[in-house]
Amino acid sequence: MKHERENAVGTTEHVERMGAEMAIQFMLMTQFQILSQMADDPRGFCADVHGQLVELVATYKLPPMPKDEEAKVRAAARTVIDGLTLKCAEPTQRGSASCRK
């Protein structure tokens, strides 16, 4: 019961973890945008990075767990990778995650 309360939406720990994950994703997205804009072929760069990361997700050795749980972990990782890399070659637009002073 205590474990459920600690991971419940709205708890300090859960809110802090979600905020940290969001910030990390925004920082990675910005990093991929910057790197892709430096490449000769931004879309190709992002596609290559995406392919390499998806392959890594598929082959990464996870700790022992039920197959359905393993599939969910890998699917969640692919979702984040898709969001970070497939849009990285898009031109930076006003209001997007970009470095501005």
Cα distance between residue 5 and residue 80, in whole Å = 26
| The token pair that represents 55 in the structure block | 């392959």
Cα–Cα–Cα angle for 54, 38, 41, rounded to 5 degrees: 60
Q: What share of the chain is helix, strand, coil (3-state, %, to 5)?
A: 70, 0, 30
| Percent of the chain residues past pLDDT 90, beyond the cut | 46
Q: Please state at what angle helix 67-85 crosses helix 42-59, rounded to 10 degrees.
A: 170
pLDDT higher than 50, residue 80:
yes
Q: Which of 28-32, 37-41, 44-48, 95-99 has the lowest mean pLDDT?
A: 95-99
pTM equals 0.68
Confidence of residue 8 (pLDDT cuts 50, 70, 90): low
> Could you state, in order of their start, the residue ranges of all structural domains in the chain?
2-85
User: Which residues neighbour 27 within 8 Å (Cβ) at sequence distance 6 or greater?
Assistant: none
Q: What was the pLDDT predicted at 89?
A: 58
**Neighbouring C-beta atoms of residue 72, cutoff 10 Å:** 12
